[in-house]
Amino acid sequence: MTPDSSGKQILFSNSAFLRELAARLPDKGRGPDYQALQKVADIYPAKITSGFFDLIQEVDDPIYRQFVPSVEELAECGEADPLAEQACSPVEGILHRYPDRVVLLAQNRCPVRCRFCLRKRLWAKGGEGRPADLEPALGYIKNTPAIKEVILSGGDPLMMTDESLDGLLAALSAVGHVRVVRIHTRVPTALPERITPNLLNMLTRYKPLFVNIHVNHPVELSAPAATAIGLMADAGLPLGSQSVLLKGVNDETNTLESLFAGLYELRVRPYYLHHLDRIKGVAHFAVPVKKGLLLMESLRRRTGGMNLPAFVLDLPGGWGKVRLDSNQVKELEPGLWQARDFSGRIHIYKE
């Protein structure tokens, strides 16, 4: 085990993670082939916090599937950059897809490595870090008055030091036309001890500042995670959540209902349920759009609207998100959909 800078133990694939996993789930002829998993991890490194590692109970349970390498990741179907992020990047560290908001990739470091990560291309074969210089990104924001909102992503912005994050937020708050900043993070559930009084005191100096937490299964809402989320809510930070619909993880009504109800009770408003992006090597996580729509229909009959997220598809090619349960989208034939993007253009999406 290798300690993270925050003091939390992090397991890496290059010996510790898979070794610890083999000790917990020994191969008795039915379990995973750890030598084969290591070959996958050599290409797409595995990483998990000890808190999440302790939630793994058996092969292919919801936490195992999200973080343990799979030989299915070596399949060639899919794309390295399905949302054309490179084409939407006018300068290093900026994704500018919608007129009034940008994503700022503050760094590439995360507390965990999700096997379905949209940006696997950035950390494949051990790539990790932050852009060498955020000044070009900040300069672009300053010189683009149409930008009203900046979304901090990466990587995970909360893996930055307090001082670095404070400096970045201060720089953004000094830009007059930036009205709102949003942080997208998995830290509150994956690394809850990172949510310290010092961090919260710093974050609450910047308003309006919203935080969206990535969480996919109710087991991730552990007692330490609930405490961390509660501290954020008590500090007055508006909280939302984003989840990805994943086969074998959360693709059933009871699981989603429990997840969204648990978030709502913790004062986190479920925001988006994402249809899986067509990333290279993640087809084993794919849930058909039709099934996702049926799950949402079932949830609407069982729970209130305040804890129901929007079910969205991020259109390949960088055309933005569309709500799948709206008149933006219609099915042409099984597996083939027509979608209208935010500017009215028509696209054909094939599963």
| Residue 323 annotated to the active site | no
Select which of 47, 65, 88, 101 is catalytic: 101
**CB 100: neighbour CB atoms within 10 A?**
12
| Residue 4 annotated to the active site | no
| Residue 321 annotated to the active site | yes
What letter does residue 243 receive in the DSSP assignment? E
Sheet holding 239-244, edge to edge: 94-98, 101-105, 149-153, 180-185, 209-214, 239-244, 269-274, 310-315, 320-323
Please identify which residue in the block is written with the tokens 């993070």.
Answer: 185
Select which of 277, 278, 280, 349 is catalytic: 277
Please identify which residue in the block is written with the tokens 């949302």.
Answer: 83
Q: Please answer whether residues 68 and 109 qualify as being in contact, where contact means their C-beta atoms are separated by less than 8 angstroms.
A: no
Q: Specify the pairing of strand 346-350 against strand 149-153.
A: unpaired
Select which of 130, 182, 314, 349 is catalytic: 314
Interhelix angle 135-142/162-173, nearest 10 degrees: 20
Output the six-digit token pair for 99: 């007129």
DSSP three-state, residue 125: helix
Select which of 109, 115, 119, 280 is catalytic: 119
Select which of 34, 109, 113, 114 is catalytic: 114
| Residue 33 annotated to the active site | no
| Residue 88 annotated to the active site | no
| Residue 330 annotated to the active site | no
Select which of 117, 130, 278, 280 is catalytic: 117
Select which of 47, 97, 182, 186 is catalytic: 97
Query: What b/e string do you get for 150-188 counting C-beta neighbours within 10 Å, with b at 16 or more?
Result: bbbbbbbbbbbeeeebbebbebbeebeebeebbbbbbbb
Select which of 65, 280, 321, 349 is catalytic: 321
What gap in Å lies between CA 300 and CA 256, rounded to an integer?
A: 11
| Residue 101 annotated to the active site | yes
| Residue 77 annotated to the active site | no
Catalytic residue numbers read 97-98, 101, 110, 114, 117, 119, 277, 314, 321
